[in-house]
Amino acid sequence: MRKALLTCDNEPTPVGLVAAVRAAAEVKKQAALTEAYAVLEWVAARQLPEDRAADECSDEHLDQMAKDRFGSQALHLAGPGAPVVEEDEAYEIAAALGPSRQSGSRYVGELIELRYRLPRIWSRVTALDLPLWKARKIAAATCTLPEAGAAYADHQLAWAAARTTLAQIDRTVDEALVRFAPDLLPEDPSDHRDVIVDLDQAKHGLVSIDALLDLDDALDLEDALRAGAAALKEVGSDDPLGVRRAKALGDLARGQGALDLQQERRPLVVNVVNGAATCEAFVRPGLPVTVSVDQVRDWCTSATKVTVREVIDRAADYSTDSYTPTEKLAAQVRWLHPTCVFPNCSRAAERCDLDHIEPYADGGPTSTKNLAPLCRRHHRMKTHARWRYRRRPDGVFAWTGPMGQVFTVDDRPTPPDVE
């Protein structure tokens, strides 16, 4: 016979602890739904009239259109027939939600898709019968469908959405494409091979690579990495196996084997900042990364030429009389602000414009304190739409959105601990 658990008067029982976890989970689900309601209320209040909504502009083409047209665009975040919102206002909502512009806009678009194009699935969400995250997976898959295709997917998936697998969602959407939009079908819908080198997220001199390969190619790559790692060990490398495999992959990218040490390697340009324990290395155009001196020393053993640039003083206020910053000033600004200074934007500064916070035409100097990196999209929002920002005396950027909300961006590096 199972013995009862004995507890002190003030100590919670296991049953009570489980109940507390369940209660917290319910609060979390309700909070997610409350947030979704608030976003959809904004959409209903701020959706564009039909004449503006007809000015279709997908998120992928906004940068290209910016070359021909200025200002805020009509932003289609969900599928055909769903409400359309103003681009600069949508970015303010995304900033208020907290994630990146891309993630925030995607979230808003999925909510619009659910509310206006997938009403049956949305009703399951509001009844707390279907987790919002699962419903968003469905919405993300249906947003490219025509209205009839979305209605078909809504009808097919709603009755058992909570138990539907991601594979079933994909099959239903593919069926909707075949029935209602065969012209949108890819030539080979089963082929998703790709290689993604995430240069925008380089950290400490390291870059993530994600790939989906053909099995035959993957087997050959695995054989090459094993052979390369073994060859590096034979010539004296005491690096861990994972590091040797990573170096072997780099050797493959350069078209050489691990023992082909005489082949010419890429020159290395190093920019030392204030003589600190870390420095900024430009290992290819447009990609600065902060690395340790030891890592640079390791790179120097394999580079054909090492160039050390002029020392940059982070605390100096460099300036020039011209509109265009000097190379030294530009490098300093991008070192001080490694990403776009718009709220939650992670675009690397080397891929951004250098913006005069106080416009040059209004007397704003081309100087350290008056320059900041803005990606092309957010530069357009500041220059031609209704976003505004200033740099406070403490170095924090204060942005004001078109609807009046204020966001602060503090990208100043954390000072080292003092012992």
The pLDDT assigned to 258 comes to 45
Q: Quick one: residue 202, left, alpha or beta (phi over 0 = left, psi -120 to 50 = alpha)?
A: beta
Report the Cα 210 to chain-centroid distance in Å.
Answer: 15
- Tens digit of pLDDT per residue, the chain (419 long)? 444 444 455 667 877 888 889 899 889 889 999 999 999 999 999 999 877 766 554 444 545 444 445 678 899 999 999 999 999 999 999 999 987 888 899 999 999 999 999 999 999 999 989 999 999 999 999 999 999 999 999 999 999 888 888 889 989 998 998 999 888 776 655 667 888 887 766 666 788 898 888 767 887 888 889 998 998 888 888 899 999 999 889 888 877 654 454 444 556 666 666 555 555 555 444 455 566 666 666 666 655 566 666 667 778 899 999 999 998 899 889 989 989 999 999 888 988 999 999 999 999 999 999 999 999 999 999 999 999 999 999 999 999 999 999 999 998 765 444 33
Q: What is the pLDDT of residue 305?
A: 62
Predicted pLDDT of residue 162: 86
Q: What is the pLDDT of residue 270?
A: 66
What pLDDT was estimated at residue 418?
38
| Among 159, 187, 189, 160, CA closest to 173 | 189
pLDDT at 284: 46
Look up residue 136 and give its two tokens: 């968003």
Task: Supply 41's token pair.
Answer: 């209320």
- Neighbouring C-beta atoms of residue 207, cutoff 10 Å: 14
pLDDT score recorded for residue 306: 61
Q: Angle at CA 175, nearest 5°, toward 174 and 176? A: 90
Output the pTM of the full model.
Answer: 0.69
Structure tokens at 419: 């012992």
pLDDT at 50: 78
